[in-house]
Amino acid sequence: MKTLKVGLVQQANGADADENIRRIEENVSACARRGAQLVVLQELQHYPYFCQAEEVAHFDLAASLDEIKQSRFRRMAAEQGVVLVTTCFEKRAPGLYHNTAVVFEPGGVAGIYRKMHIPDDPGYYEKFYFTPGDTGFYPIQTSVGRLGVLICWDQWYPEAARLMTLRGADLLIYPTAIGWSAADDADEQQRQLDAWITVQRAHAVANGLPVIAVNRTGHEPDPSGLTAGTQFWGNSFVAGPQGELLARAAAREEQNLVVEVNLDRSEQVRRWWPFLRDRRIDAYGELSARFLE
C-alpha cells in the first residue's frame, strides 16, 4: 500500500512575522518528528493577514521570487527532510505582485503556482494586492507525488480542481486564510464554514483524489478599524477520495495534524466511480464563456 504522511500546520499569527516564522519552524519540526513527509502551511503563513485593509505600506512585505526561493522555508524543508508547501507575497516588479505558492523539496525548489482566482470583499481586499496568476493550473511534481497546489479563493472553483486532475494531480492542496466576521450571526457563520468544507470535499468526490485544506486560526484586528477584524475559523482538514473526512482540526485552536493518506485508494475509488470515463467533453466548450445569456 502506497501511503503518504501529511502534516498540516494551523497557526494563529501575531503582528511579528519573525516570531510567526519561529513558531512555524517548531511546528514543521514537530510534524516531521511524527513522520510527516509532506507539510502544508496556511496561506501567507508567516504574515498577519494584511489584506484586511488597503495600505500601500504593506507592499513592503513582498519579496522577489529569488528571495523567496532562498528564504528560511528552503532551509526548513532541507533541515526537516520534508516537502513543504508555502505561500508568499511575491514582488514580481514594482506595481506587480502575486500571491504565490512555492513548494520546497529537501533539495531545493520543486515548483511554483500563482493564485489564479483573487477575491475581493470586505476584510479580504486581495485584488488591491495581488495580480491574478499567469501560471495556469499545473500540478507540481515532487518526490512525494504530483501536488495540485491551489490557494484559498481557488477552492470555490470546480474548474481549477478538474484541470489539476486532468493534468495528473495525485492530491489537491489548499492553503487558506478564511474566517468569520463578527457582523454575521451564528447561523450565517455555520453556513459559511459548512459551505467551505462541502465545496472542497466535493472536489475530492468529483475527481477521486484526496484534498488537504490548511487554514489559519485566531483573531486578527482590522488595522483600518472599519470592521471588528476577522476570527479565522481553522477547521483545517484532510479528505479522502470519496470526500470522507480523515482528520479535521478545531476552529479556535492552534493545531498540527499528521495524517496518513492511502494513495492507492484513489485508483480503487475511480474504478467503481469512473467519473473521468463519462465526461461529455463534446458539450463542455462553453465553460470558457463568461455567461451565456
Nearest distance from residue 279's CB to its own copies, in Å?
7
Q: Which of 61, 79, 156, 222 binds its own copies (CB under 8 A)?
A: 156
Helix (H) or strand (E) holding 32: helix 17-33
Q: Which of 2, 22, 33, 279 binds its own copies (CB under 8 A)?
A: 279
- Per the residue annotation, which of 90, 115, 126, 220 is the catalytic one? 115
Nearest distance from residue 43's CB to its own copies, in Å?
16
Helix (H) or strand (E) holding 83: strand 83-93
Q: 206-225: which residues touch its own copies (CB under 8 A)?
A: 206
Angstrom CA distances, 292 to 9, 160, 186, 280, 288, stand at 42, 20, 36, 18, 10
Give the separation between CA 102 and CA 74, rounded to whole angstroms.
Answer: 10
- Per the residue annotation, which of 31, 51, 88, 152 is the catalytic one? 152
Q: Which of 16, 67, 194, 264 binds its own copies (CB under 8 A)?
A: 194
Q: Which of 189, 192, 227, 231 binds its own copies (CB under 8 A)?
A: 192
- Of 226 and 276, which has the nearer Cβ to its own copies? 276
- Of 73 and 180, which has the nearer Cβ to its own copies? 180
- Of 44 and 197, which has the nearer Cβ to its own copies? 197
Nearest to 168 by CA among 207, 113, 121: 207
Amino acid at 40: V
Which grid cell sits at 91? 514582488
Question: 46-58 burial by CB neighbour count: b if 16+ within 10 A, else e?
Answer: bbbbbbbeeeeeb
Which grid cell sits at 72? 528560511
- Of 128 and 156, which has the nearer Cβ to its own copies? 156
Stretch that binds its own copies, among 4-12, 88-96, 191-199, 213-221 (CB under 8 A): 191-199
Residue 267 CA from chain centroid, whole number: 24
Q: 88-127: which residues touch its own copies (CB under 8 A)?
A: 116-119, 121
What does the chain come to in residues? 293
Place of cell 490557494: 151
**148 secondary structure, DSSP code:** E
- Per the residue annotation, which of 43, 90, 105, 126 is the catalytic one? 43
Give the separation between CA 212 and CA 8, rounded to whole angstroms.
Answer: 8
Q: Which of 15, 166, 226, 250 binds its own copies (CB under 8 A)?
A: 166
Place of cell 528552503: 74
Q: Which of 242, 246, 247, 262 binds its own copies (CB under 8 A)?
A: 242
Q: Is 31 a catalytic residue?
A: no
Nearest distance from residue 150's CB to its own copies, in Å?
11
Regarding 244 and contact with its own copies (CB under 8 A), the answer is: yes
Show Cβ contacts of residue 229 under 8 Å, excluding neighbours closer than 6 positions.
52, 182, 219, 220, 221, 222
Q: Is 244 a catalytic residue?
A: no
Binding site for its own copies (CB under 8 A): 116-119, 121, 132, 136-137, 153, 156-163, 166-168, 191-192, 194-195, 198-199, 201-203, 205-206, 242-244, 272-276, 278-281, 283-293
Catalytic positions, written as ranges:
43, 115, 152
